[in-house]
Homo-oligomer: A and B are copies of this chain.
Amino acid sequence: MYQVLVAGATGKMGRKAVELIEQKSNFALAAVLAPSIADSDLTLPQTTQCFSDLSQINHSYDIWLDFTTPQAVYQNTEFALQHQMRPIIGTSGLTEQQVASLQQLAQQQQIGGLIAPNFGLSAVLLMKFAKMAAQYLPDAEIIELHHADKKDAPSGTALATAQQIQAGRTQPVKKTWSQNSARGLNVDGVPIHAVRLPGYIAHEEVLFGGTGEALTIRQDSFDRGSFMTGVNVALDKISDLTQLVFGLENLL
């Protein structure tokens, strides 16, 4: 039975994480951490320890599951590693340098874990498959579609997908680029097109073309609840990890 501490248990994602752990056999909700845990309406098993501050934690749990804030996440992960708790970090905001530093610490402590900016399984599989396909079909374009209120374009996932495609290529792509915004934004030799329309939620398509054929990979995120499928996979695989891995795709 793995003992899990959920950090950020009173937040939107944290609550879903609490639910997941309670339903999952072989995993116990041993502790929660949240500044406002005392005033929260969260219902917890009597056996669950409640902490409102890092300094109160005097026990080493098996797994540290973190859905907190960009301000808290670095210190939390450091604390977990120093106390031999395997971190699963779903909180965004860590810089590249911070990730590198935490990976070094994990190595010193000889403990594995996961930092995953995206737990959406369909998005992570899309990126993984896109990288693999690019080895054989280097010509690719990305269309990402989001609700009209999304201010930035292209999306972070689209940018990450373009990087994966470029990383997967074993032959150069022919660059015949029109000076025309109809042809999208060129990222790593992959044109990205961003659609913003009311009604849409969060969707991404990768289109590959080869002689006489096409391959398309699409993912649709209809609901944030989808992230827990990815957390579930992470919990099942965390014990096998001997390093602090970055990206859920490296566990699939």
Contact = CB atoms under 8 A, between A and B. Distances in A.
Interface of A: 120-123, 125-126, 128-129, 132-133, 135-137, 139-141, 143, 145, 148, 153-154, 174, 176, 178, 180-185, 191-201, 207-226, 228-229, 233, 252
Contacts of A197: 139-141, 207-209, 214
Given A145-B207, A198-B209, A211-B226, 12 more contacts: A122-B215, A125-B137, A136-B252, A181-B183, A184-B194, A193-B195, A201-B222, A211-B228, A212-B226, A213-B221, A213-B226, A215-B217
Contact of A229 (B180, B211, B223, B228): B211
B199 A193 contact: no
B210 A198 contact: yes
23 contacts: A121-B137, A121-B213, A122-B210, A125-B132, A125-B215, A126-B215, A128-B132, A139-B148, A141-B197, A148-B176, A153-B178, A181-B181, A181-B185, A182-B192, A183-B194, A199-B214, A210-B229, A212-B223, A212-B224, A215-B217, A216-B217, A216-B219, A216-B220
Nearest to A228: B211
A201 to B, nearest CB: 6
Contacts of A185: 180-182
Contacts of A217: 129, 215-218
B141 A136 contact: no
A180 to B, nearest CB: 5
Query: Looking at chain A's contact residues, is the secondary structure mostly helix, strand, loop, or mixed?
Result: mixed
Interface centre among A153, A211, A212, A219 (most CB of B within 10 A): A212
Contacts of A216: 216-220
Nearest to A144: B182
A141 B144 CA distance: 12
A82 to B, nearest CB: 32
A123 B136 CA distance: 12
A132 B191 CA distance: 27
